[in-house]
Amino acid sequence: MQHPVFLNKRSVSVYFGLWALIAGVHFSIFYFVYYFPIEVSLADSMVFNLLFCAAGIAMWYIVRYSIPDQKNIWNVVFNHLSFLTLTLVVWNGIAYTILSAIFGRNKVYMDLLMVSIPNKIISGIIFYIVIALAYYLFIYYVNLQEKVKVESRLRMVLKETELNMLKSQINPHFLFNSLNSISSLTITNPEKAREMVIKLSDFLRYSVSNNATSFTTLEQEMINIRRYLEIEKVRFGDKLLFGFKLDGACRTHQVPVMLLQPLFENAIKHGVYESTEQVSIDMDCEYRDGYLEIRIVNDFDPHAHPRKGTGIGLNNIRERLRLLYKNDKLLRTVVDGTRFSVYLSLPNTDNKGSL
């Protein structure tokens, strides 16, 4: 986060303008109230206020890395008390040294300088509190603006995602091909046609009844993925093979609804459609370092002409992961010969971003 004083020309002008105003009031009190010579009044005002002006700039780094919460409140208090004490000691020490070197023979001023130390400490504490509060208000404002931007972008992306779920995950080609397969089965195998109608109905019901912000268990998500693959297998027959390896811990992990569906659809589109050989789609998962690691692998023909797609599948998944978990490095793809692999790393739902 950029230093608020040097954010732009206006912030620089405001900060140094306020200190110039404070220095002017300081000078006026010494010159018009205590009747000190103009050079003494000007020097006292400039030295004390310029030094604290510089200290106020340095205070930002203490405030920036001392954000209070329930867990570290005492650390924050200790940091501020330590820095305040150091600031007051150094501030008064340097100022006294400079002014003593210049006006050491002016006994009246030197006596006032010594007597006014408690007042200087009180004013320093007030300056410190005001500057620290201003910095905290700036941090709060910036975080609030960032949150508003993220939430606005999230709402926009989620709307697009829900539309894309209807356009791509349940695309017309898949639906038409499934209905054609059912039509053929009604003549050759009525019982299998009935089974396929039930699976298609369950698949569509699951797909349209959940929005893009919902979470479900990986087991429930894979039940629907299996429906999708079994429907496709009616068309492709023995050309399509698939298998899942899910242990007990993986099954209960919460995942975003319909997150995996586009990955399997891509495997069908770019693997099974284009290959003349048998294609296998495999998935396995395991826990590693607090993340659920999912791997989806499919065969493909690297020499086949690639099918033209909408280009939204992997990009939408990356964007959903970034907005849900505040992390844009949770998905990666690897091509190894004739095998295409997708790796997903999903944190626990306690670690996902706020929606």
Question: Above pLDDT 90, what percent of the chain?
Answer: 43
Interior CA angle at 22 toward 21 and 26, to 5°? 115
d(CA 46, CA 90): 16
170-351, CATH topology level: Heat Shock Protein 90 (3.30.565)
Domain ranges in the chain are: 4-149, 170-351
Specify the pLDDT at position 350: 56
117 and 92 Cβ atoms separated by less than 8 Å: yes
3-state secondary structure labels for all residues of the chain: CCCHHHCCHHHHHHHHHHHHHHHHHHHHHHHHHCCCCHHHHHHHHHHHHHHHHHHHHHHHHHHHCCCCCCCCHHHHHHHHHHHHHHHHHHHHHHHHHHHHHHHCCCHHHHHHHHHCHHHHHHHHHHHHHHHHHHHHHHHHHHHHHHHHHHHHHHHHHHHHHHHHHHHHHCCHHHHHHHHHHHHHHHHHCHHHHHHHHHHHHHHHHHHHCCCCCCEEEHHHHHHHHHHHHHHHHHHHHHHEEEEEECCHHHHCCEEECCCCHHHHHHHHHHHHCCCCCCEEEEEEEEEECCEEEEEEEEECCCCCCCCCCCCCHHHHHHHHHHHHHCCCCCEEEEEECCEEEEEEEEECHHHCCCC
| Predicted pLDDT of residue 61 | 92
Residues 243 and 283: beta-carbon distance below 8 Å = yes
CB neighbours (10 Å) of residue 46? 14
Distance (Å, rounded) from C-alpha 70 to C-alpha 92? 34
What is the rounded (10 degree) CA torsion for 228, 230, 236, 239?
110
Q: What is the predicted pLDDT for the residue at 243?
A: 92
Token couple for 338: 């004739």
Half-sphere exposure of 34 (CA within 13 A, CB side): 19
pTM over 0.75? The answer is: no
Alpha-carbon gap, residue 107 to 104, rounded angstroms: 7
Q: Are strands 291-299 and 215-217 parallel, antiparallel or unpaired?
A: unpaired
The total of other beta-carbon atoms located within 10 Å of residue 124's CB is 20
The Cα 348–Cα 325 span in angstroms is 9
Phi-psi bin for 47: left (phi > 0), alpha (psi -120 to 50), beta? alpha
* Residue 308's pLDDT band (cuts 50, 70, 90): low
pLDDT-derived band at 171, boundaries 50, 70, 90: low
- 3-state SS, one letter per residue, for 257-270: CCCCHHHHHHHHHH
Per-residue model confidence as pLDDT tens digits over 149-170: 888 888 777 766 665 554 455 5
pLDDT score of 307? 59
pLDDT of residue 354: 39
Token pair 């999230």 in the structure block, residue: 154
Which pLDDT tens digit goes with each residue over 103-119? 988 999 999 889 999 99
For residues 49 and 202, the model is more confident at 49
**Rounded CA gap, 188 and 191, in Å?**
9
Give the number of C-alpha atoms closer than 13 A to the C-alpha of residue 259, restricted to the C-beta side: 29
Kindly calculate the radius of gyration of the chain based on its CA atoms and give it in whole angstroms: 34
Contact 48, 29 (CB under 8 A): no
Average pLDDT, rounded, for the chain: 86
Across 187-194, average pLDDT: 88
Confidence of residue 81 (pLDDT cuts 50, 70, 90): very high
